[in-house]
Amino acid sequence: MRDGIESLNQIMRGLTEMEDIPGFKNLYAITEDGKVFSYPKKWSPHGKWLKSYICKKGYVYFGLTKDGKVKNYSAHRLVGITYLENIDNKPQINHIDGNKQNNDISNLSFVTQSENMKHSYRELKRKHPKSMLGKFGINHNRSKGFWIKNISGKITFYGSAAEFERETKLPKSSINDAMRRMIDNYIFIKGKTKGLTLYLNKPNHEWTID
């Protein structure tokens, strides 16, 4: 009881900074480091900090109640949707340092699935799982990665032709044809990929590389 009263007093005095969670206005708020506060209710007149739990995959979760229904949410997603901008509408949230329980806003970023995998294998040096069944792009141990330079000089790595097609909406058939020729620094001169350059080996240039 005292903890609840003191928490509410701190909030009222502005000592604890938090924001209402989108979709849970006046029900739950969250701090920038991932702590969830439940606003006062009939059965909890002073409000309280929710207890979290760790799922099997190691992520922090909270159970939030709305309209009589309880649903579990990961702490990193709650922090992300509350504090981070997602201009490109990217679907996943990445833990920058690889620590799944470090849900501070400074350790989170919105990413695509491909960006998440690239970060895991490149930056965190994680190994591919033994089973590759159902894996695609950079996730597959037999995928052939390559770099593409667009007409503005920006270079992006892709784990496979299929990944290139998903992310750019350009045909993977052009990439497959070029890769079969095994020519590094291949310049596309026609079709939808006209003007792009394909590198089989990491280019050593001063261009911006994703």
Tokens 């979709």 found at? 23
In this model, does residue 28 exceed pLDDT 80? yes
- The model's pLDDT over 119-175, given as tens digits with 9 standing for 90+, comes to 777 666 666 555 444 444 444 444 567 888 888 888 888 878 888 888 888 888 888
- The model's pLDDT over 166-194, given as tens digits with 9 standing for 90+, comes to 888 888 888 888 877 777 788 888 888 88
Residue 167 main-chain phi, psi, to 5 deg: -85, -30
The answer to whether 122 and 138 have CB atoms below 8 angstroms apart is no
Q: What CATH number belongs to 135-199?
A: 1.10.10
53 pLDDT tier (thresholds 50, 70, 90): very high
The answer to whether 147 and 199 have CB atoms below 8 angstroms apart is yes
CA 32-81-10 angle, to 5 degrees, is 35
Which of the two residues, 44 and 27, has the higher pLDDT score? 27
- Tokens at 89, concatenated: 């509408």
For the whole model, what pTM was predicted? 0.57
In this prediction, what percent of the chain has a pLDDT beyond 90? 35
* Domain residue ranges of the chain, discontinuous segments joined by +: 2-83, 135-199
Q: How many CB atoms lie within 10 A of CB 195?
A: 13
Evaluate the CA torsion angle 20, 23, 25, 27 in order and state its sign.
negative
- Second CATH level (architecture) for the domain 2-83: Alpha-Beta Complex (3.90)
